Amino acid sequence: MNCIHFDEIDSTNKYLKDNFETLENFTFVSTDYQSSGKGRENRVWLSKKFENLLFSILIKDKLLLKKFNVLSIGTATLIARFLELKGLKNVSVKWPNDVYVNDKKICGILLEGNVDKFLAIGVGLNVNQTLFDGDYRVNPTSMKTELKEDVNLESLEVELFEFIFKHINQKLFTKKTYDFLNSHNYLLNKKVKAGNITGIVNGITKEFELLIGDVPINSLEILIL
Ligand code: BTN
């Protein structure tokens, strides 16, 4: 594992996209503040300075690149497991890439890159921020809001990077993750729309697709109805 930290940067995902050729597989790049943090669907990712974890992981390993369609959900599952280990209750994974606690979003993941060469897994985890005064599509929460105590950001970062580094391999895409997802599926039994498919979420398949009715979905934005 190689770690790089910036006091401030436009976006850690962009840094990896600009520099992937010279950086090694499993480079973790983190920052205290992003001036141009990117969310999914061209949204912005807002995060107050020194309050949260903002980082991206560079993936160049050929076998992991082949798992590009399940890398987001795999990483979201790891973060949800980590948050449970840290004592958070009611943690769930919102397929395909968010982590929720008590119906609020605590972590978002943005996967970018070119599957033939590299992927940047960008993670924004709300840690000590308790005032969210921007424009949020879903209600945000943070570890501090849920645990009702301050979290040491530096040691959390070290622990989380080690946890991800230890578990982000082919074994991640096996039964343990499948079982965790099915017991922590935020969308379970909710009515959703994905493209032109509308229905009730019945679970997650062994291939980590979302099951809407009996239709497996693997790459669309999900709207809760
Ligand atoms: C989402 O919309 O839920 C995804 C948010 C991803 C935010 C992270 S923060 C670190 C990395 N750099 C970015 O610009 N975005 C991701």
Q: Please tell me the distance between residue 121's alpha carbon and the centre of ligand 1 in angstroms.
A: 9
Spatial strand order in the sheet of 98-101: 2-6, 27-31, 53-59, 118-125, 104-114, 98-101, 91-94
Q: Which atom of ligand 1 is nearest to the CA of 97?
A: 3
Q: Please tell me the distance between residue 73's alpha carbon and the centre of ligand 1 in angstroms.
A: 14
Q: Please tell me the distance between residue 195's alpha carbon and the centre of ligand 1 in angstroms.
A: 23
**Six-digit token pair at 168?**
């982000």
pLDDT tens-digit map of 36-56 = 999 998 999 999 999 999 999
pTM above 0.85, yes or no: yes
pLDDT tens-digit map of 3-40 = 999 999 999 999 999 999 999 999 999 999 999 999 99
pLDDT at 220 over 80: no
pLDDT tens-digit map of 147-166 = 999 999 999 999 999 999 99
Tell me which residue has its CA closest to atom 11 in ligand 1: 122
pLDDT tens-digit map of 65-98 = 999 999 999 999 999 999 999 999 999 999 999 9
